[in-house]
Amino acid sequence: MKIKTLIVDDEPHAIDVIEKYISNFSEIDLIAKCNNAVQAFQILQKNNIDLIFLDIKMPGLLGTELVRTLKQPPKIIFTTAYQDYALEGFDLNAVDYLLKPIPFDRFLKAMDKVFDSYKHNAQRISISQQNVEPKGDHFLYLRVDRKMVKINVTDIYWLESQKDYIKVVLADKTLISKQKISVLEELLPEDKFVRIHRSFIVSVDKVESYHSYAIDILGKELPIGRNYKEECRKRLR
């Protein structure tokens, strides 16, 4: 099942961020994007839209006012820089209310609510990409120093959890992002990466050597956790 989606925001950068985030989900079909509520209304008249990422404070017509004009509005995730509209947003039965700048882990929670709402009609849609065959241009976006940085997954050597942050090690550089390792684990191709420790995920193709308690990768020895030994043995043989 594809969730037909519309993005509405008067800030081009905000549209870009949402578009990059949803590119991680094969279940999302981005039908259109526009920068005001009037254009959104016209798109809704011509297309069956299941989900709208909707900015609230836009010139001409507020996002909340747009929703009130619709007899059968689709699922709504409000996106805004203003907390003042939160109560009104939830009064309109919004799935979620995201404050800008939107962290990726917070975005995932909103998407989980969307997917959960379909569970009575079909099997719950997975937010992972474990069954998607990775392509050479498969990539992720991470927030690094207030920027969204594009990372091709084939360039990743390993990921290392550091409390609320994640270190992503590439051949020529290391990136630090405020993210949980469990979130990224769900987005990485399962056949290309393996969890070797609660703090480490490594690229199977990049492993240089290994033994019972550690692997060598990019000239560094990383520990294999006791609870991960059997899975590592199977994947690295």
> Using one digit for the tens of pLDDT, what is the confidence trace for 62-114?
999 999 999 889 999 999 887 776 566 567 888 889 999 999 999 998 998 88
Nearest Cα residue to 66 out of 84, 91, 47, 44: 44
Residues 23-68 have pLDDT tens digits of: 988 889 999 999 999 999 999 999 999 999 999 999 889 999 999 9
Question: 88-115 burial, b for 16+ CB within 10 Å, e for fewer?
Answer: bbeebebbbbbeeebebbebbebbeebb
Predicted TM-score of the model (pTM)? 0.53
Domains of the chain, each with CATH number or no CATH: 3-116 (3.40.50.2300), 155-236 (2.40.50.1020)
Residues 173-219 have pLDDT tens digits of: 999 988 888 888 888 888 899 999 999 999 999 999 998 899 999 98
